[in-house]
Amino acid sequence: MTGDRLPGRLVLLGHPVSHSLSPAFQNAALRAAGIALTYELLDVAPDALPAALERLRADRAAGNVTIPHKDAVHARCGRLTTVARRVGAVNTFWVAEDGTLVGDNTDVAGFDAMAVQLGVGGADCVVACLGSGGAAAAVCAAVEQWPGAIVRLHGRSPERTRSLAARFGDRVQLAESLIAAIDGSHVVVNATPVGQRDADVPVEVASLPRDARVMDLVYRPGETRWVREARAAGHEAADGREMLLHQGAAAFERWFGRAPDLETMRRALHTAAGG
């Protein structure tokens, strides 16, 4: 953690990043805490990432990482937290006193908080997780801490999905098809980018188990189409805003050594997201 020393910069590193709601709530938290920094959007193409990280390290920057850089930043950090190593992806970073780039993953804490809000996470819960990237890995890392719970994992890339499932042992099962993943599940989680443009849904609502809860890690103004349709069909459903909020609050605490004003962050996020 940066402790009492302020970072030189505070950024969100991704490509693209213009759609992000993170500046709205992080800057609200900074103002509430009286911290004289501005949370910036930093759009960096994959081939420019190594040079960008070197500049950020020289600037003693801190920040967040989003698509498509979570795995690449993980590989380039000089030190990783235990949870970042477990997930295999970094969404939060800072520069230590000795100049080392440190990577963490607060998506796990964010997913846990979102699950609590939706009443998910009891013993023997069956979670269908769609995806095989960093977000799906965070879901697996969170669910393996729930007593007796399992993840049924299904992704578009068979090789990547098998590799992710293998890292978590028996608590994460490889589903050979979408239907096999969701059949009889208590929770269906979209950990893919599907839904960012509101044109497609990760799985048709009519195919969901009757009492399944829906957790869409994608967020957009007015919620995602999948969440709206699932709720209209009688499912408890939430988009990724609450996960975004709580991972951001956890990141703030890593950077500054103190918790932010969560309600100030939540109000700013919901205003930016259209209520």
Report the amino acid identity of residue 183: D
Q: Is the dihedral of CA 160, 161, 163, 167 positive or negative?
A: positive
Pairing of strands 172-174, 187-190: unpaired
| Ordered DSSP codes for 227-247 | HHHHHHTT--EE-THHHHHHH
State the catalytic residue, choosing from 7, 24, 69, 70. Answer: 70
The whole-angstrom separation of Cα 72 and Cα 253 is: 23
Does the annotation count 70 as an active-site position? yes
| Ordered DSSP codes for 60-74 | T-EEEE-TT-HHHHH
Gyration radius from the chain CA atoms: 18
Helical pair 134-143 and 158-167, crossing angle rounded to 10 deg: 30
Report the amino acid identity of residue 80: L
What six digits make up the tokens of 161?
């999905």
What amino acid positions are annotated as catalytic residues? 70
